[in-house]
Structure 1
């Protein structure tokens, strides 16, 4: 992707929310902008900036030098350990960490806003959850603010429907908010953190190939009328490049030996901790399916991921399972190169928690999805994938979120995609959707939307 050269050197400040999925998305977008010669500043705690850089995939190490990182020093983080026996799947153990970090970010980011806008206009791109930065920016007339949404457009529509009296199409399943997507105490935390703020535009990590009807509908709602909306996704690279020297991850060496489109990739993200009883059922289901698989088995992130050792709970689980499935499957205990796995020619399907990053990455690579939503926007994302786009199957319905899913259901979902006649059609649609998304990046709608955004901010003098 190449854009016309520009003389505009207005700085861009990007402020992410300090959680892996948000850090990852905003860093990818920052790299997209900096690759076009735009001066990008990326500001978070030193701990979270390190996390974002360390886990980056798809870009060369040298590309990071094109961004100015503002590593804000903070005291040692309070201890936080994921609870595998929690009554819900939301990573509530991280809420005190987020509160602590945001408290220490407020003053330094305020100073940064003033310094970067002192001699020229400043473009501020902030995570939609980090609304507090607007309070300070609003008093500085040379700052132009854009909100980055890390959830898809259709996720927002039910909540706008609740707050307006406008008629809605009664045949669209997306206009019924799902219950219990976050615990009450977590919802209270986000309500304190997030409030409606003025901005000139909204950026989405989505593609018109996926969400054009929802983007069009969103643009007509009161909260969005008069604002620029840019669907610039996927912001993660489509061509995966090694960004570190040294040997490849062992799972990629294993994938090299498997037949084309024969492997199910199983991973539930960085914010999910699965109880032992459920892990055991997943293991049986994978083994019974007789399908090749890579399973990333890890607990949710704790506060400072650079200080984390492999959790003993995860390390000791299913040790005999490794031997039983040797040759057919591989268990990765720890971080895995997801983009590389999804882009690999041997990967056919992705059993996922349906975080929006993972959805975009899986759909972009044209793999079929096996959806197992855990919290937040994930249940809505799973419905869109299975019921609207029809590029996947539901493993566990949201209505059964409090139950341990039996191995038979895991086996059934895998076979439906990998073996049954129905699966051939699902995989065909997934491949076709992946091609449409990639076409959008390679000169199509996503290219044009990113170009429109860059042209728009280039007009500020």
Structure 2
């Protein structure tokens, strides 16, 4: 999606500026940084406001864009006061540690970024005709003073799927304002109870309560994927004047091949594999598997006989650049030697978008965080869904039961149990080596084409982005 294709809006009003206010967590930083690139392509200046550490993190992990494009974005590195955080503890009996160690960071950002962000917006309001502030839905407290600035407008980023968003709101309504069609409701929808630690759930709820009725909503999703659930959520909106813009996926969907030192080793390895022959295994930036679970996963991948790229890493700390002893995931003895002809293990950050876009990648074993889901969908890759926490169990239902482009690995009803190697082996084999998996791949491929088509000139997402730009530059 390129700004210059919207000739009716491009640079029509250079007196507009956009301020991005992300939650300091990788999956949220990433989305607003992608959106920043899209907005700057229309000739509109963007200011990215966050802590110094997390701005650095977002820039360093940028992928899919030329790093020179970062020079078009103005980063404001604000300092957070010291706060106490502890390593991620496990829920008793739970094989997946929750990222509760990030909670003090969220609170610190919500409390201490309010004043500097307010000052920034005030300053920009004297320099530009209009200031557009786009904030993560759970950073509402940071931007609550913006409403007092006459020429500033608020827009809320929805960083989760419209499917999950809708049902999260719908189930809390004592009286339903309209009837749902039976085709709108999945046969099984997991409860949110136990998906998120209580303190983080309270934090999110309190932030959502601070949303202003006039705030616009921006979705990092695609109408071909879940337009029905965006429309259902719009019907729930208490304010008919609220604007809803479906602008996703924000991530790039086309890549220029690179060679030499710039290219990650796993991409070089993928070049030598057959089309759709490799399953990519990664559980995002907020999950740490137990030693026991790593062992079961390793055995399951080995016994499946399928080729794989496995990114094995722990949940991000509050400061990914801090020095200190870090727990290294441990593989079974001699494992990498045994699988060297058909598997590669990456013990660090990996270029996920480019891996998913590679023609050799035929499946994705994922925690089903929304970034990973929409990236996989946009590249036409089916998913072996293994939810860990937060919105992931409901995203899994969207992927496996609604869109039918994936197979479940973890049954959320037994989320407190270790997932055994035989279960993992079966899920990998189903996705990669059966007719059922092939049908999932075909549906994923077709959906990926539809998503990419919507981003092309004249497509639904491209037109909606043009409408958004026209609206904020009116």
CA offset digits 1:268-323 (Å, max 9, x no partner): 00000111111111111100000000111111000111225783432x43342111
Mapped pair 1:64 → 2:76? no
CA offset digits 1:412-441 (Å, max 9, x no partner): 111111111111111111111110000011
Q: Is 2:144–2:210's contact at 8 Å kept on the other side of the alignment? A: no
Of the three residues 298, 306, 309, the one matched with 1:294 is 309
SS at match of 1:375: coil
d(CA) in 2 for partners of 1:227, 1:136: 19
d(CA) in 1 for partners of 2:297, 2:229: 34
Question: How is 1:397-416 mapped onto 2 (pairs within 5 angstroms)?
Answer: 397-416=411-430
Q: Is 1:218–1:224's contact at 8 Å kept on the other side of the alignment? A: no
Counterpart of 2:6 in structure 1 is 3
Q: Is 1:60–1:244's contact at 8 Å kept on the other side of the alignment? A: no
Cα distance, 1:245 vs. partner? 8.4
Counterpart of 2:169 in structure 1 is 160
d(CA) in 2 for partners of 1:247, 1:111: 39
Q: Is 2:110–2:141's contact at 8 Å kept on the other side of the alignment? A: no
Counterpart of 2:334 in structure 1 is 320
Mapped pair 1:227 → 2:242? yes
Cα distance, 1:36 vs. partner? 1.4
Question: How is 1:144-223 mapped onto 2 (pairs within 5 angstroms)?
Answer: 144-161=153-170, 162-163=172-173, 164-169=175-180, 171=182, 172-173=184-185, 176=189, 178=191, 179-198=193-212, 199-223=214-238
Question: How is 1:302-451 mapped onto 2 (pairs within 5 angstroms)?
Answer: 302-307=317-322, 311-314=326-329, 316-443=330-457, 444-451=459-466
Q: Is 2:117–2:143's contact at 8 Å kept on the other side of the alignment? A: no
Of the three residues 73, 96, 104, the one matched with 1:96 is 104
Counterpart of 2:293 in structure 1 is 278
Question: How is 1:38-77 mapped onto 2 (pairs within 5 angstroms)?
Answer: 38-75=44-81
d(CA) in 1 for partners of 2:467, 2:325: 44
CA offset digits 1:47-102 (Å, max 9, x no partner): 00000000000111111111111111234564542346764542001111222233
SS at match of 2:334: helix
Of the three residues 259, 267, 280, the one matched with 2:282 is 267
Q: Is 2:124–2:131's contact at 8 Å kept on the other side of the alignment? A: yes
- Taking a change above 3 Å as real, the CA distance of residues 140 and 177 of structure 1, as seen in their structure-2 partners, is farther
CA offset digits 1:235-271 (Å, max 9, x no partner): 0001135899834211111111111110000000000
d(CA) in 2 for partners of 1:243, 1:90: 37
Counterpart of 2:27 in structure 1 is 21
Q: TM-score, with normalisation over the residues of structure 1? A: 0.94
Mapped pair 1:108 → 2:122? no
d(CA) in 1 for partners of 2:262, 2:244: 41
d(CA) in 1 for partners of 2:447, 2:313: 30
Q: Is 1:60–1:241's contact at 8 Å kept on the other side of the alignment? A: no
d(CA) in 1 for partners of 2:72, 2:433: 46
d(CA) in 2 for partners of 1:399, 1:177: 8
Mapped pair 1:246 → 2:261? yes
Cα distance, 1:229 vs. partner? 0.8
Counterpart of 1:256 in structure 2 is 271
Counterpart of 2:145 in structure 1 is 136
d(CA) in 2 for partners of 1:244, 1:377: 37
Q: Is 2:89–2:98's contact at 8 Å kept on the other side of the alignment? A: no
Mean alpha-carbon deviation: is it higher for 179-188 or for 429-438?
A: 179-188
SS at match of 2:87: coil
Q: TM-score, with normalisation over the residues of structure 2? A: 0.92
d(CA) in 1 for partners of 2:440, 2:402: 12
Mean alpha-carbon deviation: is it higher for 358-367 or for 233-242?
A: 233-242
Q: Is 1:310–1:334's contact at 8 Å kept on the other side of the alignment? A: no
Mean alpha-carbon deviation: is it higher for 130-139 or for 47-56?
A: 130-139
Total equivalences in the alignment: 458
Q: CA RMSD in A?
A: 2.0
Mapped pair 1:452 → 2:460? no
